[in-house]
Amino acid sequence: MPLIEGPLYYVTERDQGNLPLRNTHCDEKPLCPMACSCDGGVVDCREKGLVEIPGAIPEDTLEIRLELNQIQEIPPRAFAAYKALTKM
């Protein structure tokens, strides 16, 4: 499973090739690991067959649920960037 770090953006109604862009604004998509669901500050990755901590976890995550996966090791400081994280 690929790891994605940092904010993700996409351009809406983009033309192909050298044509000008219509509606040239970026809409910020909320971050959430691909296999997980995110709602109300809770990242729920239970029973997803994960073997490592997923990427694209929102920085303002309050709780992350990782139980019932195959994660063998959690790297030191894996959650250091998540200052609001209070429950795992």
CATH of the domain at 61: 3.80.10.10
Tally the domains of the chain. 1
Confidence of residue 16 (pLDDT cuts 50, 70, 90): very low
Residue 57 lies in a domain: yes
Say whether 16 sits in a helix, a strand or coil.
Answer: coil
Please name which of 28, 35, 46 lies closest in space to residue 88, comparing C-alpha atoms.
46
Supply φ then ψ for residue 18, to 5 degrees: -95, 10
Cα 15 to Cα 8: distance, rounded to the nearest angstrom: 20
DSSP 69: S
Asked whether residue 51 is domain-assigned, the answer is: yes
Is 59 a domain residue? yes
In a domain, residue 36? The reply is yes
Position 82 in a domain:
yes
Q: Render pLDDT for 23-66 as a digit per residue (tens, 0 to 9).
A: 555 556 668 999 999 999 999 999 999 999 999 999 999 999 99
What's the predicted TM-score (pTM) here?
0.67
Residue range of the domain that includes 44:
29-87
